[in-house]
A = this chain, B = another copy of it.
Amino acid sequence: MNEQEKNTEEEILDAASRIFQKKGMSGARMQEIADEAGINKSLLHYYYRSKDKLFLSVFRQAVKNLIPGIRNILFTDMPLFDKLDRFIREYMGVLLGNPFLPMFILHELQRDPDRLFKEFQKAGIEPSRILHQFEQSMEKGEMRRISPRHLMINVLSLCVFPVAARPMMQRFLFDNDAEAYQAFLNERADVVSEFVINAIRP
């Protein structure tokens, strides 16, 4: 466990992360991961005993990346519209920094929902608090009446979908112009924030 070993181990994890995120568990090949890491196939088994264990390590790391400052924002006391705005900006930032993560998580969660969702629960995200704040704001008349869960999913939808569905949307609405779509994504936080707040403003 000297630094060389640590480096190789991390190198493998990063390479595996890229391949798994692009191709999924069943689509990824161990040979491909080894090539991506610039090492031999056998070394994968030396560090991680099996493809399944390697995948689980990658998935855990992916969950960690997706969770980061989000908890802090959700748990901070702040006026509702400010909190929504900050959440959307923070979340879009994470997604843009990890564009393959959403599809990866969603797809693998469909493949093996129970086992993989447990990895999420460890992160300790708790939606009840923000749902409660939605209800309080409605009672105070600060926002229109809307089911808190629908509002929560609306926000997530507007952030996640354009990133996850990029191969589809870029071709469909942008003539497959990658730069144009990137610019579109970069202005997305502004647009979503305004859109949501307009929708719920009393």
Across-interface contacts of A98 in B (CB, < 8 A): none
Q: Is B168 a contact partner of A153 (Cβ separation < 8 A)?
A: no
Q: Is B157 a contact partner of A173 (Cβ separation < 8 A)?
A: no
Across-interface contacts of A160 in B (CB, < 8 A): 157, 161, 165
Q: Is A168 a contact partner of B24 (Cβ separation < 8 A)?
A: no
A7 to chain B, nearest CB (A): 30
Residue of B nearest to A184 (CB): B149
- Encode A130-158 as 1/0 by CB contact (under 8 A) with B: 01000000000000101101101110111
Residue pairs across A and B with Cβ atoms less than 8 A apart, 24 shown, are: A24-B27, A25-B27, A26-B26, A103-B107, A106-B165, A106-B167, A109-B168, A117-B168, A120-B171, A144-B198, A146-B195, A147-B187, A149-B173, A149-B174, A149-B184, A150-B195, A153-B173, A154-B195, A157-B157, A157-B158, A195-B199, A196-B199, A198-B199, A199-B199
What is the oligomeric copy number?
2
A91 to chain B, nearest CB (A): 13
Tell me if A60 is interfacial: C-beta within 8 Å of chain B. Answer: no
Report how far A172 CA is from B109 CA in the complex, Å.
12
Q: A144-B198, A149-B184 are in contact. List 18 more A-B contacts (CB 8 A).
A: A24-B26, A24-B27, A26-B26, A26-B27, A103-B106, A106-B165, A107-B107, A117-B168, A125-B172, A127-B173, A131-B173, A149-B173, A149-B174, A157-B160, A160-B161, A161-B161, A196-B199, A198-B200
Q: Is A110 a contact partner of B172 (Cβ separation < 8 A)?
A: no
Residue of B nearest to A191 (CB): B150
How many chain-A residues does the 8 Å CB contact rule pick out?
A: 53
Q: Is B23 a contact partner of A191 (Cβ separation < 8 A)?
A: no
A97 to chain B, nearest CB (A): 18
Q: Is B172 a contact partner of A127 (Cβ separation < 8 A)?
A: yes
Among A25, A167, A192, max chain B CB count under 10 A is at A167
Tell me if A169 is interfacial: C-beta within 8 Å of chain B. Answer: yes
